[in-house]
Amino acid sequence: MKVWKRIDPTVITRVGWRTVVTKTFRMPDDQQLEFQIFNPEDTQNAGCVALTADKQVIVARQYRPGPEKIMDEIAGGGVETGEDPRVAAIRELREETGYRPGKTVPLGVVYKDAYNNSTWHYYLCTDCELTAKGPRLENGEHVEVELLGIDDFIDNARQGRMTDTEAVFLAYDQLRKIQKQ
Amino acid sequence: MKVWKRIDPTVITRVGWRTVVTKTFRMPDDQQLEFQIFNPEDTQNAGCVALTADKQVIVARQYRPGPEKIMDEIAGGGVETGEDPRVAAIRELREETGYRPGKTVPLGVVYKDAYNNSTWHYYLCTDCELTAKGPRLENGEHVEVELLGIDDFIDNARQGRMTDTEAVFLAYDQLRKIQKQ
């Protein structure tokens, strides 16, 4: 199938602290159409499914202003300029939950939305330990750290109680394996 | 944990054909903060993991302007005002692929993003048959219908070749069961 040809101009619109990018494409039928795509181009995010040595999943419980609900999220957030996504995932885990991982393996890379410029890098962190310093939350972050059994964590994802369901998919077979060990 | 209290005003900003909603919240520390949330409030979407009687997954292959890649999506789209999400999922399947399901069961409801007002309703459609009329694409839709084996479909989700990975998670156990039948 043919890819669309992106053509000038690109228009950047800021609304508060968010960015909308208007991209124009020439489509396979030669029609030109504009699409508004959320977030700056090449936005990179990283997050981790993190477990303690006794197989408890470390969850960052927080209110989310899109759904307007308390969600049981995995730790994660934006990759800083020049930062390795793996380093960003581990940093976000430390900042949001106070835990540091023993071992970190990549789970995969996902585009969550057809109209969003963001890429998400996911990792599985095992043998996580609570550091002496604890969480270091940014302004506007209100996170409660919860430890959940693997079944409860998977059940949360199935019941729509987290916005990172795709990370649970990527970790699913390994979580089931860890349960049996 | 405390929910945040939403306070006036709500500001709606349109950028091209997209909407950004600025919501203000009083947070647990009494601070007031604004958040820009993408899409109109209560946006409902519906999609389906759809299989033929011979266990082929019906995929809507299309170029996506966020990732700027060809993705192997499930059929899906916006729920119209007053429309049942299940009806919307089946309508989108017919419009994008030309197939109609024999049986449709709900898989679950997901919020894909902490900063998006959208809710996604997913369904598993089995025994799908190609209708005489075929697909009816809207202006700007360029979809190629592909039939994939269940393993290839799951592998696409793992490799970041679709933006509906969470639907594959919700269908995963049932897809594995169908494979063994």
Q: Is residue A14 less than 8 Å (CB to CB) from chain B? A: no
A30 interfacial to chain B (CB closer than 8 Å) = no
DSSP state of B67: T
CB of B71 closer than 8 Å to CB of A114: yes
pLDDT tier at A121, thresholds 50, 70, 90: very high
Average pLDDT over chain B, rounded to an integer: 96
**Is the previous residue joined to A65 through a cis bond, with omega within 30 degrees of 0?**
no
Chain B residues with CB under 8 Å of A142 CB are 1-2, 4, 27-29
Q: What is the pLDDT of residue A148?
A: 98
What's the ipTM?
Answer: 0.95
Q: What is the pLDDT of residue B1?
A: 87
Q: What is the pLDDT of residue A141?
A: 83
Residue of chain B with shortest Cα separation from A34 = B16
Q: How many helices (H) and strands (E) does chain A have?
A: 3, 11
Q: With pLDDT > 70 as the criterion, what percentage of chain B qualifies?
A: 100
Chain A residues whose CB is inside 8 A of the B108 CB are 158-160
The string of pLDDT tens digits covering residues B137-176 is 887 789 999 999 999 999 999 999 999 999 999 999 999 9
Higher pLDDT, A32 or B140: A32
A-chain residues near B145 (CB < 8 A):
none
Set of chain B residues whose Cβ sits within 8 Å of the Cβ of A168: 169
B166–A170: do the CB atoms touch at under 8 Å? no
pLDDT tens by residue, B63-95: 999 999 999 999 999 999 999 999 999 999 999
Average pLDDT over all residues of chain A: 96
**How high is the pLDDT of residue B74?**
98
Question: Is B169 in Cβ contact with A168 (below 8 Å)?
Answer: yes
Q: Does B38 touch chain A (CB under 8 A)?
A: yes
Contacts with A10 (C-beta within 8 Å, 6 or more apart), sequence order? A21, A22, A23, A24
Pick B15's closest partner by Cβ from A25, A36, A63.
A36
User: What residue ranges in chain B does DSSP mark as E strands?
Assistant: 5-15, 18-26, 32-38, 44-52, 57-64, 69-73, 75-78, 99-100, 103-110, 119-130, 144-148
- Give residue-wise pLDDT tens across range A71-115: 999 999 999 999 999 999 999 999 999 999 999 999 999 999 999
Interchain proximity A69–B142, CB inside 8 Å = no
Query: Which chain B residues are Cβ-neighbours of A75 within 8 angstroms?
Result: none
Instruction: Suggest the residue from A5, A11, A12, A18 to mutate for an interface test with chain B (most B CBs closer than 10 A).
Output: A18
Is the model's pTM score more than 0.90? yes
Q: A-contacting residues of B 49-108, CB under 8 Å? A: 61-71, 73, 108
Question: Given CB atoms, is A132 within the 8 Å cutoff of chain B?
Answer: no
At residue A150, what are phi and psi to the nearest 5 degrees?
A: -60, -40
